């Protein structure tokens, strides 16, 4: 009973936040609504006993990905007037695509595909049940090859992104070189010169 109330409250917020993401005008507000949507999704996953997935969703998407999103949006100079140019011209095409997408979503996710008779409710486990162990057990045995391949693809993506950002400016690298600073010898930098503090009297004019 309480669980259902929590579910409907979270789903209500989720649907509201999701629709606000696409309708609200300010891109920052849209990103913040997306954060709210992720957070409520995590709450719904908690109701399904998927605590590891819920925590990871908050940690990765809310804590890191969306922060970078906001970071980029704040840096961009977004001019809404320019963005809206040709809105009425492209409207028919846009409506067509939207209707197509909507139909596809209804066909795949419509009420005929769901229901307790088609997808039974997941069983609740006791407090001793650790879904991290379950997940790890499956991930590192049954799905070990897909998992490793996905990891390698991500690694390649990281290396590629760094290589792209470095291309053409590796040579004229500015900035600090701590390894050179550490091995600096004071004798190479400063030369102490000994000289008389004052000239002899005879030389003064």
Of 63 and 146, the one with the shorter C-beta distance to another protein is 63
**CA pair distance 157, 138, nearest whole angstrom:** 25
Out of 15, 64, 144, 161, name the contact with another protein by CB under 8 A: 64
Is residue 157 part of the contact set for another protein (CB under 8 A)?
no
Q: Which of 14, 34, 35, 37 binds another protein (CB under 8 A)?
A: 35
Q: Taking CB under 8 A as the rule, does residue 162 contact another protein?
A: no
Q: Does the protein bind another protein through residue 154 (CB under 8 A)?
A: no
Q: Is 75 in the site for another protein (CB under 8 A)?
A: yes
Rule CB under 8 A: say whether 151 interacts with another protein.
no
Gap between the Cα atoms of 189 and 154, Å rounded: 46
d(CA 15, CA 181): 56
37 is a site residue for another protein (CB under 8 A): no
130 touches another protein (CB under 8 A) = yes
Alpha helix positions (H), the chain? 2-23, 27-47, 51-56, 66-75, 80-83, 87-109, 131-139, 144-166, 178-182, 186-189
Among 74, 99, 109, 154, binds another protein (CB under 8 A): 74
Whether the Cβ atoms of residue 51 and residue 130 lie closer than 8 Å to each other: no
Cα–Cα dist 69/31, whole Å:
7
- Distance CA(29)–CA(38), nearest Å, equals 14
Task: By CB under 8 A, tell whether 115 contacts another protein.
Answer: no
Q: Which of 9, 28, 98, 107 binds another protein (CB under 8 A)?
A: 28
Q: How far apart are CA 163 and CA 83, in angstroms?
A: 31
The binding site for another protein (CB under 8 A) comprises 28, 32, 35, 51-52, 55-56, 58-59, 62-64, 67-68, 70-71, 74-75, 127, 130-132, 175-176, 178
């Amino acid at each position: 009973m309480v669980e259902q109330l929590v579910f409907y409250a979270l789903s209500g917020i989720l649907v509201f936040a999701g629709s606000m993401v696409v309708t609200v005008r300010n891109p920052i507000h849209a990103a913040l609504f997306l954060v709210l949507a992720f957070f409520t999704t995590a709450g719904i996953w908690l109701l399904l006993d998927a605590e590891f997935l819920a925590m990871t969703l908050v940690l990765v998407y809310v804590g890191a990905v969306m922060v970078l999103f906001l970071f980029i949006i704040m840096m961009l100079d977004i001019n809404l007037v320019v963005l809206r140019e040709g809105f009425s011209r492209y409207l028919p095409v846009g409506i067509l695509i939207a209707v197509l997408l909507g139909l596809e979503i209804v066909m795949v996710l419509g009420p005929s595909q769901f229901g307790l008779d088609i997808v039974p409710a997941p069983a609740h486990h006791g407090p001793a049940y650790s879904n991290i162990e379950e997940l790890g057990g499956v991930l590192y045995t049954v799905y070990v090859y897909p998992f490793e391949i996905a990891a390698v693809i991500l690694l390649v993506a990281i290396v590629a992104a760094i290589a792209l950002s470095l291309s053409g400016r590796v040579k004229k690298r500015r900035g600090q070189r701590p390894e050179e600073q550490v091995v600096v010898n004071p004798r190479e930098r400063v030369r102490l010169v000994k000289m008389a503090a004052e000239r002899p009297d005879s030389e003064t004019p």
